[in-house]
Amino acid sequence: MDRGAAARHVPVLLPEVVEALRPQDGGFFLDATFGAGGYTRALLDYPETRILALDRDPTAIRAGLALVDAASGRLRLVEGRFSQLAGIAESEGFAPLDGVVFDIGVSSMQLDESARGFSFRGDGPLDMRMEGRGYSAADIVNTADEESLADILYFYGEERAARRIARAIVHDRGLAPFTTTKALAGLIERVAPARPTDIHPATRSFQALRIAVNDELGELLAGLTGAEAALRAGGRLAVVTFHSLEDRIVKQFLAERAGRGETGSRRLPGEPAATPSTFVCAGHQPISPSRTEIDANPRARSAKLRFATRTAAPAQPLSDRLGRLARLPEKNKGKH
C-alpha cells in the first residue's frame, strides 16, 4: 500500500467498527469498500482471519497489491462493485461470511486527486467516475434537461437552490459546455452564493452529481441485500455513512429487517404471519465519532456507524418501499 495514500485516508470509527464486527481468529470477512485498506488491516491483525476486499476503483486495487503480498495469502483483493458482493464471495470461496463492513461514499484519495474531478477545491475535469468508465458528471451536466438536473441536485444533494442552479447550467452550457470542476463550481457560487458561515455553495451539487454518476444509493441498497444473503447466522454487519441519504437507507433497511413496527399480538384470521427478522440491532445507534477523533480527522465529523447481527432467517427480497429510497421520484410535483 502506498504510504502516502494510507496517510491521507484515515479509517473513520475504526475501533468502533472492529468492536461491532467482533472478529474471531480464523473468521471470513468482507471489506466491501477497500479504499486505502484501513479496515482490512485491522481485520488482518486477528490471526488466521481471511479477508475478501472489494473496490470498484482500479486505482485503489493497484495501490492495494502490496498489502495483498504482505498478507501471505490471507487477503484477496477484487475489483468489483459491492452490489455484486454475494456473488463474488460465493465464487471466491468466502461464503458464508462472518462479517461485512461498508465505508460508504468517496474516499479521501479520490477527493484529493484533482484529475478525478470529485472535488471543487482544485481544478480538474468534470468526471467523478469511480471506475473511469460510463457517463461522467460532464455528460449529465451538459445533456440532462433542466427538470432532470434540478431533481438530481435536489434529491441527491438536498440543494434548496436546485431549480435556480439547473436553470443557470442549461443557459450557460448553450454558450460553452462545462468541462471542468472550476467552471461548474464558479457558476454555482455565482447564482447561489453562501453566507460566510455556510459550507461552499457547490458542496451539495457536487455530492448530488457524484451520487448520480456512480448510482451510489442503488449500490448501497444492493450491497446491503447482498450482505444479508452472504452472512452466516451470527455474522455481523457494520456500515459507516457520511450523509443523511446514506444513513436513512441503512437505518430503514435494518429497521425493516429487524421487524420493527411488527406487532407481537395475535393476527386476524387470514392475516399473513410476520416475516421473520433477518437482523438483530442492539445497543445505542448510530455511533458517532468522538470529539478527539473529529479534531484529529475533520472529515470524520459527519460519520455514523450502524451495525447488526444476522439471524438464521432466510434473506428477504427487496421491498419497493426500500427501493424508492434509492431512486429519483418518477414525477416530481414539488417546487425547488
Q: What is the CA 9 to chain-centroid distance, rounded?
A: 15
Give per-residue pLDDT as tens, 156-170. Answer: 999 999 999 999 999
Query: What's the pLDDT tens digit per position in 61-73?
Result: 999 999 999 999 9
Q: Which part of the chain is CATH 1.10.150.170? A: 113-214
**Residue length of the chain:** 336
Q: Residue range 218-235: average pLDDT?
A: 97
What's the mean pLDDT in 262-287? 75
Cβ-proximal residues to 218 (8 Å cutoff; 6+ apart), any chain = 83, 326, 327
| Cα distances (Å, whole numbers) of residue 95 to 48, 64, 87, 228 | 16, 22, 9, 11
- According to CATH, where is 3.40.50.150 located in the chain? 1-68+75-94
DSSP string, 299-316: GGTT-EEEEEEE-SSPP-
Q: Is residue 116 over pLDDT 90?
A: no
The amino acid occupying position 281 is: C
| pLDDT at site 315 | 96
- The yes/no answer on whether domain 1-68+75-94 falls in CATH 1.20.1440.230 is no
pLDDT (0 to 100) of residue 211: 95
Of 333 and 240, the one with more pLDDT: 240
CA distances from 160 to 67, 205, 336 (A): 43, 10, 6
How many C-beta atoms lie closer than 10 Å to residue 3's C-beta?
A: 9
Mean pLDDT of the chain: 89
Give domain 113-214's CATH architecture: Orthogonal Bundle (1.10)
Handedness of CA 37, 238, 55, 209 (dihedral sign): negative
Q: What's the pTM?
A: 0.89
pLDDT of residue 333: 46
Please determine, for residue 201, whether its predicted confidence score (pLDDT) is greater than 50. yes
